[in-house]
Structures are given as structure tokens and as C-alpha cells.
Structure 1
Amino acid sequence: MNKSLHIALTFDDNFWAPAYAVMRSICLSTRRRGEIVFYLLHMPLSAEHRADLARITEEFGAALVFYPLVGEPFFEDFVAGLPQGGRWPKVVYARMLLPGLLPQEVERVIYLDCDMLVRAPIEELYDIDLAGKPLGAVRDALAPFIPMRRDMIQNADLFDGADPYFNSGMLVIDLDLWRQMDLRAEIDALAKRGILAKLYFDQDLLNLIFRDKWQALPWRWNTIDAHEAHEALDPAILHFTKPAKPWGIFAGILRSTAYARWYRHVMTNALFYRFARHRWKRWWLKRLRLT
């Protein structure tokens, strides 16, 4: 009997539609969709949006396990004092809690950001060799600029530009090896050095904790800043890291991102345009609150 494929996402109620698109792209790209278990670590979800997500089970038979995070002491205590920002709310750190949250019998999980699109059978990534390391990831295409910042010198006391640096949007996690580590103690040690405010959120944090403890995976499993030229290279997972996103109304016309039209049909037209109205309403509400 084939083993289950365990996949985790973290998001809030404003990203429910992209989360749905990630899951649906995974299910459309594999014949083992009925063996997939999605772990959804989320902030409060409306009943309507939760029902949208449940359609993954109805269409493909994949299992969904919801982990609400708001008000949970283990989550609030963990994120207290960690840097946060408008584009990076505290839910981004939830991926670091997977070893304790997921059932002990789950030995491996793939974590994916919600601004992604999967085009290859996810089992190929799930079964990839991590060479005995607790973590597999793809080198960030913008390193060393991201860790070292302005003029690639700002954080030279923390990072060496010659060291490999990974993007945290896709992680293959050996949970048994992660469980042998004390991530809380690692974070506390970094906090005592007074450097948390200097870090690029979870990504810098993970790169410091797992320095020399991660396996570099082929670029196609996290194609960063996915744009039209990448379509010719047969990427397995597209990662839309730039401001232009495939859920933008004109993305397919302007061809500002890779597979924009493909993405709209993965999300489904009905949800795509409902998500557009949701974002437009939020935009206006923000502007009105400022006046």
C-alpha cells in the first residue's frame, strides 16, 4: 500500500483562495491525490472560505486537517518577540511548529507557501533524498542580497556571502530529525544576541538555525520570481515572489507572471473573480480608514 503524502500550508483568511489553488494544483498534477493529507495552519477563517477549501476533498478525495492558531498559547508564546511586518504576519512562523503539531507517526512533510503553483507529481519531491539532513530546500536566487541586505554588507556579521542560503517557501522536512532539535532554544540563543530585529523574518531565522544542516534541492522545485521565461524551462513548482501575482486580474493579459492563465483555471474562474472582489474591497477599506 502506498504511503500518505503529507503537505502543510500556513495562511490567513485573506489568502484562502491562493491556498486552495496550491492544493488544487498539487492534486491536478498527481495520480496519488487520494493519498494526500493537507495540514492547514491558519488564522480565523470565515465559514464561506472554509467551505471553499473543503471542495478539495470533494473533488479529489484528499484529506484536510485544520489547525486554527489564534488564541493558542503554544503559537502565541512561540511568535512573541519575533519580527513581523505587513507582508509577513506572525502566521509565517507557524511552519516552525510542524514537528510538534503533526502526529508523531508522520515522518516527513512538505511545507509550501501559498503564492505557489505545482506542475509536477508532488511524490517526486516527497521522496527526494535529503542525504541524512533534517531539511531540504532550494537556494534563493537573490542570495546573498537578501541575507546581507543593502550593499551586501548590512548583515555581514551574521551571514557570509559565500555560504549557501535557501528560500523558505518550499521545505522538505524530516520531522524525526527536527524533533531532535530544540528550535525554541535556538531562537532564544539568537534573541540573546540581540539580532532578531535585523532578520528577514522566518527565512533568515531558519538559515541561521539550519546552517550546514540542509540539503540543496534542484531549482525547479522552487522557481523563484516565476515569470514568462521560466515556462520554457519546465519548472516543477513556481513561486510568485514579486509584487505581480498570477491572481491579478490582468496577469494573463500582461503576461507578468508565468502560467497566469493556467493559474486562473486552477483556482477556477468563479473563485478567481470572487477573490478579486475580496481584494478590491480590502483595498478600498484600507484607503477609507486612512481618510
Structure 2
Amino acid sequence: MASSLDIVLAFDDNFWAPAYAVMRSICLSTHRRQDLVFHLLHLPLLAEHKRDLEAITGEFGAKIAWHPLDGMELFDVFVADMPASAQWPKVVYARLLLADILPEAVSRVLYLDCDMLVRAPIERLLEADLGGMPLGAVQDSLHPFIMGRRDMRQNSGIFDLADPYFNSGMLVVDLAQWRAIDVKSEVALIAGKGWLDRLYYDQDVLNLVFRNRWHKLDWRWNTMDAHPAHEALDPHILHFTGKNRPWALWAGILRTTAYARWYRHVMTNDLFYRFARHRWGRWWRKRLPFLR
């Protein structure tokens, strides 16, 4: 049994509350709370938001390892030419630097996106057999459309659509093997081919780097576009990849996502409504610049 359960999240200050919900759902789903170490790869956080995240340690005895990305030369240089958007900020590429940012003593780690909810003991996933591969993941539910894009032809020169393709929202990583691959050099080769602007952000990059070097895990560990119908299938990790998100105020009333009411109470009522005000404030500031 591992002495620690190492989990990585990467986010900016606009996603602090969902990050907290992921962390708290993990704590609520395991008896090994004091073995948990949350490695938070983050851009600058408001002091209030950082205190919210730190509450995990007081409630459950879990540990937090802070890894600030702001001003980190390694991160700044790596993401400088990476494509990004409002929905996919450059912080998403931090997961590609796991081997460089995390301590050498960490041998296996679980990466999770922040739009998730965990319902099963996370140690079962961290201790899963990866079949000798450096990476364990779940096949993407939109495979092969994401690979090929329009008419399943757009990226035919980059991907073979018959190949398996994983969703990068949940990754079980053998860091020793990851380090041996030298991910940064692999990304540089992809960039040198002029492909970056044609790729689906970090997920396509990871699928190219780990082509034929990943182990397929059960879909329950990354149940994508989670709807209420999924509740009957006992999903272990829900991944809210669709347009409807569980932190929307109407989600619990209209049942637009799986476990929406559960999610609100995992995030806690206080944080749920503060996050709603935060999102509304951002929406108005984008449209009314004088409010900035």
C-alpha cells in the first residue's frame, strides 16, 4: 500500500471552487483521508480563495502541496506558443510538466480535471494495474470525432482514426516511465511539424505523445458528459464535459447533470453561492468594461 495518495489539479482563480469540490469529494469517498496529498498547480489565487482550499486540511487531515505557476520560467517558456482560448487557458498545459514540477519522491500520481466529482475510493484508481504502461486513462466518449474533426478528415494526416484515443481529464501516471519519455522534447517535435494550431489543446498533444503507450481503464473512472441517467450505472468519477455544469444555479432543480444536488452540498452551500456570484461578476465585466 502506498504511503501517500498523490493527486494533481491544475487551475486558475476562476476555478478555485470546482477544484475544492473535486478535493472534498475525494476526501468524502475514502477512509484514507490523511494519506491524501493534493498537488495544486495554480496561477495566482485571491487570499480568500486560497483559504477556501486550505479548509480541506482542517476538515479531513489531508495535505496540500502548493505549486504556483506564476513566474515559473519552465511553465512560461513551455506554454508561450501553445494555443489557448477563454475556455481552455494555458494552465491546462501544466499537466504536461508533471515530471518537472513534482518531487522526485512521487512515483505515481493521479491527475484530475476540476470539472469532476469523485464517488469511489480514489486509492482503487491510484493502485490500478497499468499493464506496464506509463499512463492509464479512459477512452474518450467522442472518439474518433475529436481526432478527425470535420467529416472525420481534418486531422487524418496527424491521427489514424482507428487508433484508441483517451480523454485527458483523468490520468493515472507512472512518473518514472513518464520521465523516461521526456515529454517536453516530444511536444517540441510536434510543434516543429506545425501541428499545434490544428490540435485539441493538451488532450491531442498527450494522445500523440503516448500513442500506443497507455492502458485503457474502466469507463466508470471517467464518466463523460454525466447526465442523470448515469446515476443508475454507479459511476466512480463523473466528468461534466457538456454545456450543463453542476455549479449552475438551476442544475439541481432541472436535473441537467448527474448528482447536481449532491455536487452543491459537496462544494458546500456557502461556496456554491459565492462561486455563482463570482461567475456572474465575470459575465458582467466582460460585457460592461467600466465595471472592471
TM-score (norm 1): 0.98
1:194 has 2:194 as partner: yes
Cα shift at 1:236: 0.2
Q: Tell me the alpha carbon deviations over residues 13-71 of structure 1, each in whole angstroms, 9 at most, x when there is no partner.
A: 01000000000000000000110000000010000000000000000000001111011
Distance 2:191 2:120 in 1: 39
SS of 1:180's equivalent?
Answer: helix
**Residue in 2 aligned with 1:183?**
183
Cα shift at 1:82: 1.2
Contact 2:97-2:184 within 8 A present in 1 as well = no
Q: 2:224 is matched by which residue type in structure 1? A: I
Q: Which runs of 4+ in 1 moved over 3 A?
A: none
Cα shift at 1:2: 5.3
**Residue in 1 aligned with 2:253?**
253
- Unpaired runs of at least 5, structure 1: none
Distance 1:127 1:183 in 2: 23
**Residue in 1 aligned with 2:45?**
45
Distance 1:174 1:233 in 2: 29
Contact 2:8-2:40 within 8 A present in 1 as well = yes
**Residue in 2 aligned with 1:114?**
114
Distance 2:59 2:121 in 1: 17
SS of 1:243's equivalent?
Answer: coil
**Residue in 2 aligned with 1:165?**
165
Q: 1:146 is matched by which residue type in structure 2? A: I
Q: 1:81 is matched by which residue type in structure 2? A: D
Cα shift at 1:183: 1.2
Evaluate the alpha carbon distance shift between residue 181 and residue 2 of structure 1 in structure 2; reply closer, same or farther with a 3 A threshold.
closer
Q: Tell me the alpha carbon deviations over residues 267-286 of structure 1, each in whole angstroms, 9 at most, x when there is no partner.
A: 00011001101101111111
Q: 2:158 is matched by which residue type in structure 1? A: L
Contact 2:33-2:62 within 8 A present in 1 as well = yes
SS of 1:138's equivalent?
Answer: strand
Distance 2:278 2:82 in 1: 29
Q: 1:175 is matched by which residue type in structure 2? A: L
Distance 2:162 2:247 in 1: 36
1:234 has 2:234 as partner: yes
**Residue in 2 aligned with 1:3?**
3
Task: Report % sequence identity.
Answer: 66
**Residue in 2 aligned with 1:105?**
105
Distance 1:212 1:289 in 2: 48
Cα shift at 1:199: 0.3
Q: CA RMSD in A?
A: 1.1
**Residue in 2 aligned with 1:96?**
96
Q: 1:50 is matched by which residue type in structure 2? A: K
**Residue in 2 aligned with 1:54?**
54
- Unpaired runs of at least 5, structure 2: none
Contact 2:37-2:64 within 8 A present in 1 as well = yes
**Residue in 2 aligned with 1:17?**
17
**Residue in 1 aligned with 2:218?**
218
Distance 2:265 2:15 in 1: 17
SS of 2:10's equivalent?
Answer: strand
**Residue in 2 aligned with 1:268?**
268
Distance 2:72 2:227 in 1: 38
SS of 1:281's equivalent?
Answer: helix
Distance 2:6 2:183 in 1: 21
Cα shift at 1:127: 0.3
TM-score (norm 2): 0.98
Instruction: State which drifts further: 181-190 or 241-250.
Output: 181-190
Q: 2:113 is matched by which residue type in structure 1? A: D
